[in-house]
Structure 1
Amino acid sequence: MIYYITGGERSGKSSHAQKLAEGLSDNPYYLATSRIWDKDFEKRVKRHKNDRDERWTTIEEEKEISKVIPKNSVVVIDCVTLWLTNLYFDSENNVEKSLELATIEIENLAKLNSQIIIISNEIGMGVHAQTHVARKFTELQGWVNQRIANKADKAIFMVSGLPLTLK
């Protein structure tokens, strides 16, 4: 089962995903996809860790996320945007290669016998990106979000802390 939770920055995606996971399992997993790029982001990661109690097990994986998910588990993947950033950066901003790698992982996630809660961002709804590289990343994010939403059994759009059911 795949749950897809998307929305803007600070829309309540992570909190909603955490509550959902805790309702599905006494011992959920949190799959962190981020790299620590700077001090501000390091603080954000620490805040997210502090939001989870001892029931949670953290797994860290930057790119091959389908390979680290335990069988028959409940896993929150946080988040697609940071995961895609890793793929995009490591492929030297190659949209096609990043989309290919992401699509393979999404297909692999759909085959797993686990309950997977995928968090993503709707970055294309914000300010128009100022650079070519950023505009291409926004396109990549949109295409990957569509692929995930298509595979998802349930999809939720978060707005101002409120969940709107899409599927």
Structure 2
Amino acid sequence: MIYYITGGERSGKSRYAQNLALELSNSPYYLATSRVWDGDFAERVKRHVSDRDERWTTIEEEKYIGSIDIDGKTVVIDCVTLWLTNWYLDTENNVEESLKKGKEELNKLFNKEANIIVISNEIGMGVHAQTKMARKFTELQGWMNQFIAQKADQAIFMVSGLPVKLK
């Protein structure tokens, strides 16, 4: 099963996804995709880690998520936005290449026999990005979200900590 959880920043996506994972498995996996960019981000990662107890196994992979062995497991992928940022920056802001490489990795991942819970952000619903680089990333994120939503068996939009079922 592929579960897609999306919403704005601090909308409750991670908490919802983690609770869902624990309903599906007594020993879920957490696939962290972020790079630690600065001290503030390190604190955010630390907070996320403290949200999980000993039942969780954490895997860190910045880009090649399709190569992770998750067969037979329940996995929370947190999050598409940070993962896409890695592709976007490493391709020198090439939207087409980032989208292509990202879709390739997701297709590999989605072909595995697992419960996959994908967390992403709806960044295009907020303030209009001020720079060309940010506007292009917003487009990339929107296209990737559409791709994931089409592949997902269930899609949930989080608003103020409340889940709204989309699919």
1:46 maps to 2:46: yes
Aligned residues: 167
| Contact 2:30–2:58, Cα closer than 8 Å, also in 1 | yes
In structure 2, the residue matched to 1:30 is 30
> Aligned to 2:76, what secondary structure does the other structure show?
strand
What fraction of aligned residue pairs are identical, expressed as a percent?
70
| CA apart distance, 1:106 | 1.8
Q: In the TM superposition, what are the counterparts of 1:116-131 in structure 2 within 5 Å?
A: 116-131=116-131
CA distance in 2, matches of 1:14, 1:70: 19
RMSD, aligned α-carbons: 0.6
Q: Residue type of the partner of 2:59?
A: I
Q: Contact between 1:5 and 1:17, CA under 8 Å: does it hold in 2?
A: yes
**Structure 1 stretch displaced more, 68-77 or 2-11:** 68-77
Q: Which amino acid aligns with 2:115?
A: Q
- Aligned pair 1:58/2:65, yes or no? no
Q: 2: distance between equivalents of 1:54 and 1:110?
A: 26
Q: Which residue of 1 is the match for residue 88 of structure 2? A: 88
* Offset of residue 69 of structure 1: 3.6
Q: Which runs of 5+ in 2 are unaligned?
A: none
| Partners of 2:66 and 2:107 within 8 A in 1 | no
Q: List per-residue Cα deviations over 1:72-130 (Å, max 9, x = no partner).
A: 00000000000000000000000000000011112112211000000000000010000
Instruction: State the Cα distance separating 1:152 from its structure 2 match.
Output: 0.2
Which residue is 2:148 aligned to? 148
1: CA distance, partners of 2:103 / 2:34: 19
Distance (whole Å) between structure 1 residues aligned to residue 109 and residue 3 of structure 2: 11
Per-residue deviation, 1:68: 1.1
- Is the 1:4–1:154 contact (alpha carbons within 8 Å) kept by the matching residues of 2? yes
The runs of at least 4 aligned residues of structure 1 exceeding 2 Å deviation read none
TM-score normalised according to structure 2 size: 0.99
Equivalent in the alignment of 2:160: 160
Identify unmatched segments of 5+ residues in structure 1: none
Q: Report if aligned partners of 1:66, 1:108 keep a CA contact under 8 Å in 2.
A: yes
CA distance, structure 2, for counterparts of residue 112 and residue 49 of structure 1: 25
